[in-house]
Amino acid sequence: MEILEQIAQEAEQNTQVPAYPRSVEKVIAAVMSSPNFWKIVDLSDEPLPLVAEILKLLNKRDLVVFEGNQILLTEAGAELAKKLGIEPFASHRCPTCNGRGVVIDDSLRPAFEKFLEIQKNRPPAIHQYDQGYVTPENTFARVALADDRGDLRGKKVCVLGDDDLMSIALALTGLPARVTILEIDERLVNFIKEVSDKYGLNIDARVHDLRQPLPEDVVGAYDTFFTDPPETVEAIKAFVGRGVATLKGPRCAGYFGVTRRESSLDKWARIQKVLLDMGLVITDLLHNFNEYVNWDYYQEMRGWQLTPVKEPPKEIWYKSTQFRVETIRGFKGFNEPIVGDIYNDAESSTT
Ligand SMILES: NCCCCN(CCCN)CCCN
């Protein structure tokens, strides 16, 4: 059997993560592009547990070697790549918008500058809630995207989970008529309330565990929602399903991130089916739109145990695709209690 297929099968057996010859091919191309484990995960766009396992299997076959913290192809590895026509990655990403399709232009800049100041005192991301916030510029790019699609001006907006401080960014622009945030972490709710009082932002901030049904007055009352769920199908139901339950009716919008770092394409297929079954249409999918600041609990996360070399992440490696969805006739949200673990599955690695 062809070696890529062989390695893919063995990797899938050892990790329970769906693996394909292309998964192995992309890891080899990533090693040809960078010796850094986190960059290799970023470029591979495969779940971290699978990338770590493929690297170990390539090492066992003497195709890759671990020299200190570097991951390098061996002579045999380079020969195999040549034989199979595998080449390093090439990028043509737009340097102006960083592939997001929107920019923080003059109309948003004053609010953005204020946000940059305010977020300096934000509570640090904690492991308990799988937190990991995106860069301040990224938070504002999400605002720009939603305004570009006509989803903010004069609208009622609900944010479900807000370590990204979307509620503050949205309120600083003055564009939405109302901003409500539901967040389990009291540190964040208190911080957002303090900022809201200090800057007169009138943010409706509430402590709420999204595994519980929404507060009555939030159901069916909003035009647009934002959320950034943990990467299990259950969490998508809990966060996105609840977000849909906040919407007033058809043709309302929702925004959330789905990553490749903790989700295989097989899981993406399940997630997208859940979305369609809720009566949503996926109107936008912006690859690597979201870039997450490295969190300091990385040594506690499962992924750290799996890495073949122990070097702390420096550059941003964890990214996600920004989804925009819109409701059509017959849509239905999810507002039942959620029991069980919404943070972990075979592919998750930063929980
Ligand atoms: N555990 C660290 C990374 C978590 C990222 N997740 C939550 C992000 C909250 N801002 C999920 C990202 C994609 N859904």
pLDDT digits (tens, 9 = 90+) for 305-322: 999 999 999 999 999 999
Complex prediction ipTM? 0.93
Closest CA to 142 of 278, 320, 272, 265: 320
Average pLDDT value for residue range 49-54: 98
* Alpha carbon of 11 to ligand 1 centroid (Å): 25
Quick one: what percent of the chain has pLDDT higher than 70? Answer: 100
pLDDT of residue 213: 95
Closest CA to 270 of 217, 234, 219: 234
SS3 of 255, please?
strand
- Whether the Cβ atoms of residue 305 and residue 56 lie closer than 8 Å to each other: no
Confidence of residue 348 (pLDDT cuts 50, 70, 90): confident
Confidence of residue 150 (pLDDT cuts 50, 70, 90): very high
The single-letter DSSP state of residue 213 is P
Mutate to test the pocket of ligand 1, among 268, 292, 294, 348 (most ligand atoms within 8 A of CB): 292
pLDDT of residue 339: 84
Domains of the chain with CATH codes: 2-84 (1.10.10.10), 109-327 (3.40.50.150)
Average pLDDT value for residue range 108-124: 98
Nearest CA to ligand 1 atom 4: 132
Average pLDDT value for residue range 150-175: 98
Closest CA to 316 of 291, 343, 338, 339: 291
Ligand 1 atom with the smallest distance to the CA of 230 is 11
Nearest CA to ligand 1 atom 10: 133
Is the pLDDT at 350 greater than 80? The verdict is yes
Ligand 1 lining (C-beta closer than 6 Å): 130-133, 163-164, 228-231, 257-259, 292, 295, 318, 320, 350
In whole angstroms, give the CA distance from residue 201 to residue 172: 7
pLDDT of residue 47: 97
Closest CA to 290 of 258, 249, 242: 258
* Alpha carbon of 6 to ligand 1 centroid (Å): 32
Closest CA to 85 of 41, 38, 21, 35: 21
Closest CA to 301 of 340, 350, 266: 350
Confidence of residue 327 (pLDDT cuts 50, 70, 90): very high
Average pLDDT value for residue range 151-164: 98
Which tops the pLDDT comparison, 341 or 57?
57
SS3 of 163, please?
coil
* Alpha carbon of 205 to ligand 1 centroid (Å): 21
Mutate to test the pocket of ligand 1, among 231, 298, 319 (most ligand atoms within 8 A of CB): 231
Average pLDDT value for residue range 23-36: 98
Is the pLDDT at 1 greater than 80? The verdict is no
